[in-house]
Amino acid sequence: LPAGEQRTAIPGVATGLAVTGAGGDVLYVEASLADAETGGTGLTLTGQLGDVMKESARIALSYLRSRGAELELPVGDLKERGVHVHVPAGAVPKDGPSAGVTMTTALASLLSGRLVRSDVAMTGEVSLTGRVLPIGGVKQKLLAAHRAGITTVVIPQRNEPDLDDVPGEILAQLDVHPVSSVREVLELALEPATAPLASAA
């Protein structure tokens, strides 16, 4: 299996896009729920996340705690089961708000049991009401997505003008979706509920 398919082969993992010192890169957001019988509670964040990125995770979780029922997600699972959000690689510092949609998608995948499509990558800040706010580095992120074999990219609506900076031959090979709400992201990125669950790594 290609790397992306392996990484997203269980619910709770979504593919994001980041700007690094050396251009753009794909990153994976991994989310887990503790078995209720283990007594794990609360929210654990790892991956050397900076303050802004930690806040993104808290926003993503609060969005699901307050709006998840509307999205038909079994949010009651959050009550007695600890949530952990991790972003490998473990030793690389990461920051910024643009992983907000990826974190929300990973958590929605985890709650719903629906896999995240392995050919979809996403970037976008998320607000507490589920709006998708603009981010930076669209060009580098799309180049990175293309290099990684991604075919569908979700970006914030307000970043659509930045597509002008992306080489035409790259854009031609990508299905780019500008969106303004998290609902749209979830509709695009989550596999249907009937997809068979892959076995865990």
For residue 5, give the nearest of 112, 124, 114, 150 by alpha carbon: 150
Give the x-and-dash track for 161-190 against Ca ion (CB under 5 A). -------------x----------------
Q: Least distance to a copy of itself from the beta carbon of 45, Å?
A: 9
Does 109 qualify as catalytic in the annotation?
no
Among Ca ion, a copy of itself, none, what binds residue 47 when CB lies within 5 to 8 Å by partner kind?
a copy of itself
Q: Least distance to a copy of itself from the beta carbon of 200, Å?
A: 6
Nearer residue to a copy of itself within complex by CB, 107 or 174: 107
Contact 116, 189 (CB under 8 A): yes
For residue 97, give the nearest of 189, 179, 19, 13 by alpha carbon: 19
Does residue 98 touch Ca ion according to CB under 5 A?
yes
Among a copy of itself, Ca ion, none, what binds residue 51 when CB lies within 5 to 8 Å by partner kind?
a copy of itself
Does residue 96 touch Ca ion according to CB under 5 A?
yes
DSSP-H helix ranges across 51-190: 51-67, 77-80, 100-112, 138-147, 168-172, 182-189
Does 141 qualify as catalytic in the annotation?
yes
Contact 126, 134 (CB under 8 A): no
Nearer residue to a copy of itself within complex by CB, 34 or 148: 34
Nearer residue to Ca ion within complex by CB, 114 or 141: 141
Q: Please tell me which residue in 32, 56, 98, 109 is annotated as part of the active site.
A: 98
What is the number of alpha carbons within 13 Å of residue 90 lying toward its C-beta? 0
Cα–Cα distance measured from residue 155 to residue 163, given in angstroms and rounded to the nearest whole number: 10
